[in-house]
Amino acid sequence: MSSPAESTTASAQHPSTAPDAGGGTRRRILLRASGPLGAAAAALVLWVLAVPVAGIDVAGFTGATVGPVGPGAIAASALVAGLAGWALLAVLERLMRRPGPVWTSVAVAVLLVSLAGPVVSAADTASMYVLLAMHVVVGAVVIPVLAPTARRR
């Protein structure tokens, strides 16, 4: 069994395993997880407002056919986008001294490029606007939640 002084010294030698000054690893993980989960929840709220409440049939082209865009696809897409952002942030943290500004720039660029999807694949104008709003909502949740969690080396 090691003394508290020894464990402090060990943590100082291996900063990647030690809790950080910002509240610890567990807090950072919970905060980062809230990004994808919050994005999925926000996108689903928008879907509920658009489809059952406003009566808009959100649909998009998948190849040559038009199909509805349901809540499962909405939640899965938002989760995948958020988790991809988290993964990129984790990689950048290992490669760069200041990953936050780079990650934020990439995330904003990806959001802007993603806006082409609804413009090209929405079945009608109403669907396009709803899907564009969903992209913006997901970005508006993921980017401000994940960006401040970036660790400096």
Q: Provide CB contacts within 8 A for 53, sequence distance 6+.
A: none
pLDDT at 141 over 60: yes
- Identify the CA nearest to 146 among candidates 78, 91, 89: 89
Collapsed DSSP state (helix, strand, coil) of residue 144: helix
pLDDT at site 10: 41
Domain boundaries, the chain: 24-56+68-149
Collapsed DSSP state (helix, strand, coil) of residue 15: coil
Note the pLDDT tens digit of each residue in 103-112: 999 999 999 9
Q: Provide CB contacts within 8 A for 57, sequence distance 6+.
A: 51, 68, 126, 127
Using a pLDDT cut of 70, give the percent of the chain over it.
85
Note the pLDDT tens digit of each residue in 7-47: 444 434 434 434 455 457 899 999 999 999 999 999 999 99
pLDDT at site 57: 97
Note the pLDDT tens digit of each residue in 61-92: 998 999 999 999 999 999 999 999 999 999 99
